[in-house]
Amino acid sequence: MVLPSAHYQGFGSDTGSSPPESRLPGSIFAEGWLDLREHADHAARATALHEPLVRWLQQRSGLLGPLQMVDLGCGHGSNPRYLTSRLPGPQQWLLMDHDGELLERTSQRCSQLVDNSQRAISVTRRQADLKQPAALDIERADLISASALIDLVSAHWLEQLVECCHQHEAAALLTLSIDGVIELFDDQQRRYEEPPDRRLLEALHQHQQRDKGFGKALGSQGPDRAKILFEACSYQVTTARSDWQLKADSPADRALLRQLLGGWRTALQEQLPKEETMIEDWYLRHIQRLDDEQLSARIGHIDLLALPPESGI
């Protein structure tokens, strides 16, 4: 079975395939969802991109003071918590999110982090709605990072992000972007497919490209579009897979997959309102297989690293 992924992050946008605790488009997703997905996010990250980014940051370090890192839509800080100890310093992070209360908790949490030389990092925060153009008015940046973002934004918004990176000669690390593929398996790791899947695939693709607050969403086209835009600015772009591998015998993976199935059900019912009964039956069959530990999944994602021209790396 192949289905496009529903994907979320705490910067205040809805993919249209929302877990049960998500709110309306333009609002932040519950921290419980962010906690639930973090183990899969961290396990999936493309480690092959670390070494070239570290080398580039080492060259950049000290030129204008501490390395200035920006995390767009930081949510509860999963991205900096993953990156800081793997990257050189000194690091000063600017965390951006539209939810002020969450942003305060996240900045306090991240202020305890250290870089790869065990030096404490510095953290500042900025409450900003990323849907507004002024959100990308950044004074200085060496690295601009975002997780689970570019599948939600419009082509025009992505162009603005690339221009922002180019203006600052900053590297970009855009991680965990959906590539439009989910494979489901049975307990013997055989592909599991049902007759309605092709129709549901197309419906979910269409739903992913609805306006998420930024204009028509790129959906699974996001990684390819980002690569084209950065290369047009002579950036050196490297992509690597960062798939979620959700196992039937893992309680944490089953909990995450349960939330995803609920999100797909909601999206499909919105996209195919006359097929509610068929969609509900489809959903309940999958939930039963999940409860019986007979359903696992590979959720396709792409990580992208873009290094400025003449970086020599």
Alpha carbon 100 to its chain centroid, in Å, reads 20
Predicted pLDDT of residue 134: 84
Could you give phi then psi for residue 107, rounded to 5 degrees?
A: -65, -40
Could you give phi then psi for residue 185, rounded to 5 degrees?
A: -135, 155
Residues 85 and 113 sit within 8 Å (Cβ to Cβ): yes
Which long-range contacts link 29-32 to residues 24+ away (Cβ below 8 Å)? Answer: 29/75, 31/76, 31/102
Written as one string, the DSSP assignment of the chain is -B-PPP---TTT---SS--TT--STTSPPPHHHHHHHHHHHHHH--GGGHHHHHHHHHHHTTSSSSEEEEEET-TTTHHHHHHGGGS-S-EEEEEEES-HHHHHHHHHHHTT-B-TTSPBPEEEEEE--TTSGGGG--S--SEEEEES-TTTS-HHHHHHHHHHHHHHT-EEEEEEEEEEEEEEE-TTS-B---TTHHHHHHHHHHHHTSB-SSSB--GGGHHHHHHHHHHHTT-EEEEEE--EEE-TT-HHHHHHHHHHHHHHHHHHHHH-GGGHHHHHHHHHHHHHHHHTT--EEEEEEEEEEEE-TT---
Could you give phi then psi for residue 311, rounded to 5 degrees?
A: -75, -20
- 36 burial type by CB count under 10 A (0-12 exposed, 13-18 middle, 19+ buried): middle
CATH code reported for the domain at 31-307: 3.40.50.150
CA distance 124 to 71: 11
Domain ranges of the chain: 31-307
Residue 173: beta bridge partners?
145, 305
Predicted pLDDT of residue 135: 87
Q: Can you give the length of the chain in residues? A: 313
> Which residues, in sequence order, are CB contacts of 188 under 8 Å at separation 6+?
none
Q: Show pLDDT as tens, one digit a residue, over the chain (313 residues).
A: 444 333 333 323 333 333 433 333 333 446 677 888 999 999 999 999 999 999 999 999 877 789 999 999 999 899 999 999 999 999 999 999 988 999 999 999 999 999 999 999 999 999 998 888 788 899 899 999 999 999 999 999 999 999 999 999 999 999 999 988 888 998 888 888 788 877 887 888 778 777 677 788 888 899 999 999 999 999 999 999 999 999 999 999 999 999 999 999 999 999 999 999 999 999 999 999 999 999 999 999 999 999 999 755 5
The token pair that represents 12 in the structure block: 């205040």
CA distance 307 to 304: 10
Is the torsion defined by CA of 18, 4, 81, 138 positive or negative?
negative
